[in-house]
Amino acid sequence: MAKSLYLPEGYKPALTLRETQHAIKYIKDVFQQALSFAVTLDRVSAPLIVTKESGINDDLNGVERKVSFDIREIDGTEAEVVQSLAKWKRMALYRYGYKPGEGIYTDMNAIRRDDDTDNTHSVFVDQWDWEKVITRDQRNIEFLKDTVKAIVKAVSYTKRKVSLRYPQLKADICESPFFITTQELENMYPDKTARERERLITKEHRTVFIMQIGGKLASGEKHDGRAPDYDDWTLNGDIFVWNEVLGNALEISSMGIRVDEDALKRQLAECGAEDRMKFPYHKMIAEGTLPLTIGGGIGQSRLCMFLLEKAHIGEVQSSIWPEEMTRKCADHGITLL
pLDDT of residue 63: 65
Task: For residue 25, tell me if it sits in a domain.
Answer: yes
Q: Which of 254, 267, 300, 301 is catalytic?
A: 254
Q: How far apart are CA 249 and CA 333, in angstroms?
A: 22
Q: Is 89 in contact with 295 (CB distance < 8 Å)?
A: yes
Question: Catalytic: 112?
Answer: yes
Q: Which of 112, 139, 199, 226 is catalytic?
A: 112
- Residue 184's identity, in one-letter code, is E
Our CA dihedral for 146, 152, 157, 162, rounded to 10 degrees, sits at 170
Question: Catalytic: 317?
Answer: no
The CA–CA distances, whole Å, from 291 to 46, 98, 223, 279, 282 equal: 19, 9, 29, 17, 12
Q: How far apart are CA 45 and CA 43, in angstroms?
A: 7
Task: For residue 211, tell me if it sits in a domain.
Answer: yes
Across the beta sheet with 74-81, the strand order is 49-51, 74-81, 68-71
Task: For residue 175, tell me if it sits in a domain.
Answer: yes
DSSP annotation of 258: E
Q: Which of 238, 260, 309, 315 is catalytic?
A: 238
Task: Find all residues with CB under 8 Å of 296, minimum gap 6, and list them.
Answer: 129, 130, 253, 254, 255, 256
Question: Catalytic: 75?
Answer: no
Angle between helices 300-307 and 17-39 (to 10 degrees): 120
Question: Catalytic: 251?
Answer: yes
Q: Is 323 in contact with 126 (CB distance < 8 Å)?
A: no
pLDDT of residue 61: 60
Q: Is 71 in contact with 90 (CB distance < 8 Å)?
A: no
Question: Catalytic: 58?
Answer: yes
To the question of pTM greater than 0.95 for the whole model, the response is no
Q: Which of 251, 261, 276, 319 is catalytic?
A: 251
Tell me the average confidence (pLDDT) per consecutive run of 10 residues in the chain, 337 residues long: 76 93 96 96 91 72 75 83 84 95 93 84 92 97 98 96 94 94 97 96 97 95 91 97 95 96 95 90 93 96 96 92 90 89
Task: For residue 188, tell me if it sits in a domain.
Answer: yes
Q: Which of 58, 118, 229, 309 is catalytic?
A: 58
CATH number of the domain to which 135 belongs: 3.30.930.10
pLDDT of residue 90: 92
The CA–CA distances, whole Å, from 160 to 17, 155, 169 equal: 21, 9, 10
Q: Which of 83, 84, 127, 300 is catalytic?
A: 127
Task: For residue 171, tell me if it sits in a domain.
Answer: yes
Q: How many domains does the chain have?
A: 1
Task: For residue 29, tell me if it sits in a domain.
Answer: yes
Task: For residue 5, tell me if it sits in a domain.
Answer: no
pLDDT of residue 1: 41
Task: For residue 4, tell me if it sits in a domain.
Answer: no
Across the beta sheet with 207-211, the strand order is 41-43, 103-111, 124-133, 293-299, 248-258, 231-243, 207-211, 178-181
Question: Catalytic: 127?
Answer: yes
* Residue 296 domain boundaries: 17-331
Q: How far apart are CA 58 and CA 99, in angstroms?
A: 24
pLDDT of residue 217: 95
pLDDT of residue 117: 86
